[in-house]
Amino acid sequence: MSFFGNLSAQGGLSPKTKNTLADWKQKNEINYNSFISDEVYVKALIGLNGTENLIDANTKKVEGISSTDAGELARAHRVDGIQVTYSVLAAAAADAGVPAYTDDLPVKLKNAVLIFKQGGKVLQSGLVESYINAGSTNVNERYTEVFPFALSNNTPLEIDIKFPPNGDADANNFHYVQVKLRTIALDA
């Protein structure tokens, strides 16, 4: 039986232990609203195939949040959460406005690999599906927590989406992918 199975079989934690844990959590909980910054990268992809670099001349950055110059961050950041959302617009209507993003991604995008590289080294990678955290109205809970990693400034940053082989292009639609990183500026 697992550790948690034993706890539930024995009636759970004692009230004293629960209070101690609650006190510790309250004292040590991070208030992200006080010092969080988000890096947001949005790119329209034609088709969902091959490998797409999300940071290039066609990448849109949310003004005042993301600041990259030739793919380099102006400030160093510690990343502890990632969120991926998606939208699709017909190619004819692509300039008609801001797409509405959703957690409902197509299977081809869910099965793609999201890769973060800096200075030629892979810092984080995983299936796009693992970075979807739907169902919460709390903005801090919509991020998938990851083992923290650092993004340095003045070093080219690359965020790639690598699709499974044999993907078909979709010239009729623009597929918008939005990657949000929950970060704390390290040099603030």
User: 115-129: per-residue pLDDT in tens?
Assistant: 888 888 999 999 988
* pLDDT attached to residue 32: 39
> What is the token pair recorded at 126?
């995983």
Let me know whether 152 and 78 are in one domain: yes
Query: 59: domain CATH number?
Result: 2.60.120
Let me know whether 134 and 181 are in one domain: yes
Let me know whether 55 and 144 are in one domain: yes
CA distance 79 to 145: 9
- Cα dist. 164→80, 127, 175 in Å? 26, 11, 16
Let me know whether 44 and 63 are in one domain: yes
CA distance 188 to 174: 37
Let me know whether 70 and 129 are in one domain: yes
- Per-block mean pLDDT, blocks of 10 residues, the chain (188 long): 38 51 48 48 66 67 52 79 81 59 81 88 91 67 82 84 74 77 75
* pLDDT attached to residue 29: 46
* pLDDT attached to residue 40: 64
Let me know whether 16 and 95 are in one domain: no
Let me know whether 179 and 93 are in one domain: yes
3-state secondary structure of 173: strand
Let me know whether 40 and 128 are in one domain: yes
Let me know whether 17 and 42 are in one domain: no
* pLDDT attached to residue 19: 54
Domain count, the chain: 2
Let me know whether 61 and 149 are in one domain: yes
Let me know whether 17 and 91 are in one domain: no
* pLDDT attached to residue 124: 92
CB atoms within 10 A of CB 93: 11
* pLDDT attached to residue 122: 92
Range of the domain at 63: 33-185
Let me know whether 43 and 95 are in one domain: yes
Task: Give me the torsion for CA of 55, 129, 98, 48, rounded to 10°.
Answer: 70
